[in-house]
Chains A and B, each alone.
Chain A
Amino acid sequence: MTLLAFDWAIIIEKLILIAIIVLTTLLITLYTTFGERKVAAILQDRPGPNRAGPFGLFQPLADGLKLIMKEEIIPTSASKWLFILGPGLAMTASLMTSAVIPWGTELHLFGRTIELQIADINIGLLYVFAVVSMGVYGIMIGGWASNNKFSLMSALRAASQAISYEIAMGLALIALLMTTGSLSLKTIVADQVAGNWWNVVYQPLGFLIFFICAMAECNRTPFDLPEAENELNFGYHQEYSSMKLGFYLFAEYVNMIMSSAIMASMYFGGYDLPFFDESTVAPNIAAIIGVGTLLIKIVLFVFLFMWIRWTIPRFRYDQLMNLGWKKMIPLALLNMLITGALILSKL
């Protein structure tokens, strides 16, 4: 029975934490869709959705309700189980990243120390990398199972795009790994909190590469080729309807929030509020301030994503591949080389 002799309360604690994180993420996602429409409108001198509720705040609820009430259509020629699996997989893969993100320091409640991170695994960065590349499975399976040539084309594009940009992304992460010396996200953030500078100061080029690749991984404009409506009608979710379509659209926003959280944690100090000494306040208050700071950083990154989307047009496919293979990968390699040389010279 020694196997079972551990603190059982930790399971409940983690379950509650998971529930809170997933639900909060979904709620934020709901309002990110609203934010996207508002940002687009304001950048284009329009008021945007303002009819449902005060300032149009109930608009996402109306959108969600509409998607749920729509008829579910599964094409007869589609592979049924994979067709149903696709959106679920896309959503799961994008939510899984949240497991390793340190949302804050620790809370002291009911005589327990609750870490605000679901799992502090020592291969955090590798886990992130693995889960991010899982994201393309949802698109691949959905597009393939639809049995529609446009969906298939779009799925192919998504897969090749993800593979191309993951290489540069991985190389940028390796350079970061060389400076931090740890794969655990908790350690990476803690080092930035303790040290004076955020990692972006040491890795500006690495951050730029990571940011561009994250945008490509999220299928956001200018890299939204899988959804290029003028070439592929509607892309991989062409045959989807009702909430299955909703899940695909939702997963994109969850992806965006998760990559923002990862970028904030890895390059911008995570829950670290700059010019503020956390040890001067009570630990619980410090933790809450930390969570708030991380959320603000996420919102800023999400705004940056949207701002870019409503500024520049989509790349052509050959331009996308050109940028990925001929520019990003050599740049990432160069970044790695410089980082390695600097570390060696310091030793």
Chain B
Amino acid sequence: MQALTNKSIAVNRSPMTIWERLYLINIIKGMVITFSHMFKKQPTVRYPEQKREFSPVFRGLHVLNRDEEGRENCTACGLCAVACPAEAITMEAAERQEGEEHLYREEKYAAKYEINMLRCIFCGLCEEACPKDAIYLSETFAPANYTRKGFIYDKNDLLIPNTLTNATALAKAKGVEA
């Protein structure tokens, strides 16, 4: 039969020769193969001691960003919530009062910002939608929890520590030991 592609391999269906029917030679060949595997490098990562690095494009847990003066970037515009295909993000906006200029960068801020990590599919569309550089996907993942409620992350969980007032906590969150 004419082969359509050159990918097919003709299987040898001729009856076994006396040496093949003896099994022994093929068994010894197989044993040589398994023996040679004793000296091969093991690909195993011994997990708790050894950790594999995430790839540079890894999309992990969300963080809410601050600017260089430690003010929250988020203006509660809702674009991330609109972009979210899993509808995991909810927020409530509030107006910035007098004397809160050191806390929020613009006149409007998110009073409540929640992401349901059980709904989230970590697609990163919120990160793309954000016009204010306020939300980023970090290189950590959500730890296990006993309740569903525990997976709803609010602003306290998401907001990165203030660069100016709490530098050590920031370093710890980044995974850089201070």
Contact = CB atoms under 8 A, between A and B. Distances in A.
A46 B44 contact: yes
A307 B36 CA distance: 12
Contacts of A274: none
B52 interface: no
Nearest to B36: A43
Interface stretch (B9-17, B27-35, B66-74, B77-85): B27-35
Interface in A91-124: none
Interface string B36-55: 01101111101000000000
A308 B40 CA distance: 19
Contact of A312 (B30, B38, B41): B30
Contacts of A24: none
A310 B41 CA distance: 18
B37 A311 contact: no
Nearest to B27: A312
A45 B30 contact: no
Given A43-B37, A43-B38, A45-B37, A307 B46 contact: no
A42 B37 CA distance: 7
Contacts of B34: 43, 307, 310-311
A311 B26 CA distance: 11
Contact of A47 (B30, B33, B40, B44): B44
A45 B40 contact: yes
A233 interface: no
Interface residues of A, number: 12
Interface string A284-317: 0000000000000000000000011011100000
A44 interface: yes
Interface in B54-70: none
Contacts of A311: 27, 30-31, 33-34
A229 B37 CA distance: 26
Contacts of B37: 42-45
A46 B42 CA distance: 6
A308 B33 CA distance: 11
B9 to A, nearest CB: 22
B31 A45 contact: no
B28 to A, nearest CB: 9
Interface size class of B (residues with CB under 8 A): 10 to 19
B37 to A, nearest CB: 5
Contacts of B27: 308, 311-312
Contacts of B44: 45-47
B106 to A, nearest CB: 53
Nearest to A308: B31
Nearest to A44: B37
Most chain A Cβ neighbours within 10 Å, of B40, B42, B43:
B42
B46 to A, nearest CB: 7
Contacts of A46: 42, 44
Contacts of B40: 45
Contacts of A43: 34-35, 37-38
Contact of B43 (A45, A50, A307, A308): A45
Interface in A32-74: 42-47, 50
B42 A307 contact: no
Nearest to A304: B31
A311 B34 CA distance: 6
A308 B30 CA distance: 9
A93 to B, nearest CB: 29
Interface in A310-334: 310-312
Nearest to B44: A47
Contacts of B35: 43, 307
Nearest to B48: A51
A46 B43 CA distance: 7
Interface string B131-170: 0000000000000000000000000000000000000000
Contact of B42 (A47, A310, A312): A47
B71 to A, nearest CB: 48
B46 A47 contact: yes
Interface of B: 27, 30-31, 33-35, 37-38, 40-44, 46
Given A42-B37, A45-B41, A308-B27, 19 more contacts: A42-B38, A43-B34, A43-B37, A43-B38, A45-B37, A45-B40, A45-B43, A45-B44, A46-B44, A47-B42, A47-B44, A47-B46, A50-B46, A307-B31, A307-B34, A307-B35, A308-B31, A311-B33, A312-B30
17 contacts: A42-B38, A43-B37, A43-B38, A44-B37, A45-B37, A45-B40, A45-B43, A47-B42, A47-B44, A50-B46, A307-B31, A307-B34, A308-B27, A310-B34, A311-B34, A312-B27, A312-B30
